[in-house]
Amino acid sequence: MNSSGGGANMTEPGAMGGWTRSKTWFFALLFAAWMLPGLVGRDPWKADEAYSFGLVLNMSQSGDWVVPTLGSDPFMEKPPIFYLTATLFERLLSWALQPHEAARGACVLFAGLTLLFAALAGRELYGRGGGRTSALLLMGAVGLVHTAHMLQTDLALVAGYAMAIYGLTLALRRPWAGGIICGTGTGLAFLSKGLLGPGALGVAVLLLPVFGQNWRGRNYGQLLAGILLAVLPWVTVWPALLYQRSPSLFVDWFWNNNVARLVGGSPYAGPEHRPAWFYATLLCGFGFPVFPLALWGLWRGGRKMLGEPAVQAVLLPCVTLFLVLSAASQKRSLYATPLLVPLALLGVRGLAALGERFARGAMWFVGGLGTLAAGLAWLGWCAVAAGWPPALLQRIHSATPHFTTALWPVALVGAVAGTAGWVILLRSRAETGPPALAFRWAGATALLYLLGMTLWLPVTNGSSSYRFDFAGLREAAGESPGLMSCVGLGEPQRAMVHYYTGLKPLRAETHEKLETKWQLIQGGDREGKRPRPPGPGWKLAWSGRHQQELFSLYHLEP
């Protein structure tokens, strides 16, 4: 594996621009505006964040990180690295923040690692300035901005994928170091989501010598040795501890939640059946703008570009993961998030290939679009705060009964500061060339998310939180209700019942012959879906509602 110069440079070194102190401050402030909003001031939202925090809550209370537990039941869908990390942050920061807010420190860590390793890979590929542009494009990816703020293990998977790809790009110069980093990232991906990430990365690494002679020879052997040496502890310690604890739980994790989810037949798979081209169409919006930029860069580079080892180091992990996801029986937009990392790296090439007139026009368009959207966000908030027009306020109250127009002063200050920062960014001349467009798009993305998580957070949190919906459940059950069973309660709902009431009902679906005097039933606000008493002698003790979800607590009278 040979390279020229300081790295694998797919463009001329320095083509992306140098790094100055003013640019460092711009990037740091932009990252803060992109990352911090939405971490505090809101409750866990369903679906993934709510049940993820339920796992963190159990891990924090029990200290057991080998078997993740949701409510009273083992949850073997995913390995524990993200939940363990969030638990450590929850214990470290809960003196100053609410437990679920403190746990979101894991989001900052893994999102930061993702951007860091994407930037390091971009620097290896493009030279000075390429790293910053890669990180900016990734920050502006539509599919990442919301995921980066949610308590969900896919964020750790994305960080592992970014680390592994950086290792492959570094291996062109330093195969041993690149292998160690790639293996560490692969191990992190394994402990985040199981076999999916390591499987796709492993296939990509094995295919590298097939597509390029630069990946053959002694250096490739060093790369493989480094990967195997680094990944071994990640893929052996936790599975061994899990098998030692419970062979049946190990089988449940390995087969039902890994292999069967890919090939079909998993008892946990959802009912949705999506076509094989689901991710190809999804990336047009979810992967904007990195997906079209990556395609444009590959098109302009032509067949010669595909023969470059640096391109292969990024493109093969992207293609293999895309094919694995497309062939899997279960498909969700969230699963495509790791694809954004290699697409952002390839998108830098497409960004540089944009014509000068097109880039200038795109700058004006992004600036105008961001300003218009921010203006509408402020205008709508002012209308709601003033109570005019009444029809708008009535519509919000019907969708969010617990909504109030009161705003946290810090949130208002943040919204004003973010808007002022956007105006400064529009007038700034600190960036020129392709990075200027990346800066502006990332800034617009950060601004809109910031305004949504400050001005409009009472609306979004009120419609997504279970805090008010489960009020009174603990009081209705009494101080010592004993064993409680539940029927139909989903994973997010069981987690939030535990968090807001301290109750951990046992699932009647998985526990035979439960003899309890309390049963919590979830149903829907549709004919035939409304909760009904379990049988004669059961009396309604409490009822709650979350949007179309209905909850009823029944007590068996003596």
> Alpha-carbon Rg of the chain, whole angstroms?
25
Cβ atoms of 422 and 443 closer than 8 Å: yes
CA distance 39 to 33: 11
Strands (DSSP E) found in 354-513 = 484-487, 506-507
Token pair belonging to 111: 């999102």
Digit-coded pLDDT (tens) for 45-58: 988 999 999 999 99
Instruction: Give the model confidence (pLDDT) of 177-188 as tens digits.
Output: 999 999 999 999
Confidence of residue 427 (pLDDT cuts 50, 70, 90): confident
| Mean pLDDT in residue range 218-242 | 96
- Among 352-356, 451-455, 460-464, top mean pLDDT goes to 451-455
User: pLDDT tens-digit profile of 127-176?
Assistant: 988 999 999 999 999 999 999 999 999 999 999 999 999 999 999 999 99
The predicted structure's pLDDT at residue 387: 73
Compute the average pLDDT of residues 470-499: 92
Burial 199-230 (b: 16+ CB within 10 A, else e): bbbbbbbebbeeebebbeeebbebbbebbeeb
Distance CA 396, CA 400 (A): 6
Give the residue with greater pLDDT, 512 vs 374.
374
Q: Quote the Cα angle for 276-281-284, to 5°.
A: 150
- Range from 195-209, 254-268, 395-409 carrying the lowest mean pLDDT: 395-409
pLDDT, tens digit, 9 for 90 and up, residues 512-557: 778 889 999 999 988 888 899 998 989 999 999 998 899 999 999 8
* Phi-psi region at 484: left, alpha or beta (left = phi > 0; alpha = psi -120 to 50): beta
**In this prediction, what percent of the chain has a pLDDT beyond 70?**
92
Among candidates 554, 470, 557, which has minimal Cα distance to 518? 554
Rounded Cα distance between 272 and 259, Å, is: 18
Let me know: does 118 contact 159? Beta carbons within 8 Å. no
Where is average pLDDT lowest: 201-215, 363-377, 379-393, 496-510? 379-393
Cα dihedral value 145, 151, 152, 155, nearest 10: 50
Both tokens of 348, joined, read 């830098």
Q: What sign has the CA pseudo-torsion 455, 134, 182, 25? A: negative
Q: Read off the pLDDT of each residue in 285-295 and give the average, rounded to a whole number.
A: 96
Residue-range domain boundaries for the chain: 43-251, 356-464, 476-556
Q: How many CB atoms lie within 10 A of CB 480?
A: 5
- What single-letter amino acid sits at 224? L
pLDDT of residue 301: 87
Query: What pairing do the DSSP bridges indicate for beta strands 484-487 and 518-524?
Result: parallel
State whether residue 66 is helix, strand or coil: coil
Strands 538-546 and 549-556: antiparallel
pLDDT of 178 reads 97
- Are the C-beta atoms of residues 169 and 161 closer than 8 Å to each other? no
Residue 268: which pLDDT band, with cuts at 50, 70 and 90?
low
Predicted pLDDT of residue 416: 95
Q: Which helix (H) or strand (E) holds 313?
A: helix 309-327
- Is 392 or 152 the better-scoring residue by pLDDT? 152
When mean pLDDT is compared across 341-350, 368-377, 401-410, the lowest value belongs to 401-410
Q: What is the DSSP string of 61-120?
A: HH---SS-EETTEE--SS-SHHHHHHHHHHHHHTTTS-HHHHHTHHHHHHHHHHHHHHHH
Q: Residue 363: which residues within 8 A CB-CB, separation 6 or more?
A: 436, 437, 440
Computed over every residue of the chain, the mean pLDDT equals: 89
State pLDDT tens for residues 310-344: 999 999 999 999 999 998 878 889 999 999 999 99
Measured CA to CA, the distance from residue 434 to residue 355 in angstroms comes to: 10
Q: What whole-number distance in Å separates Cα of residue 485 and Cα of residue 76?
A: 21
Indicate if the pLDDT at residue 405 is higher than 70. Answer: no
Nearest in space to 358 (alpha carbons), one of 437, 415, 412: 437
Q: What is the pLDDT of residue 248?
A: 95
pLDDT tens, residue by residue, 22-45: 677 888 899 999 999 999 999 999
Q: Per the omega criterion (within 30 degrees of 0), is the bond before 239 cis?
A: no
The token pair that represents 494 in the structure block: 């069981």
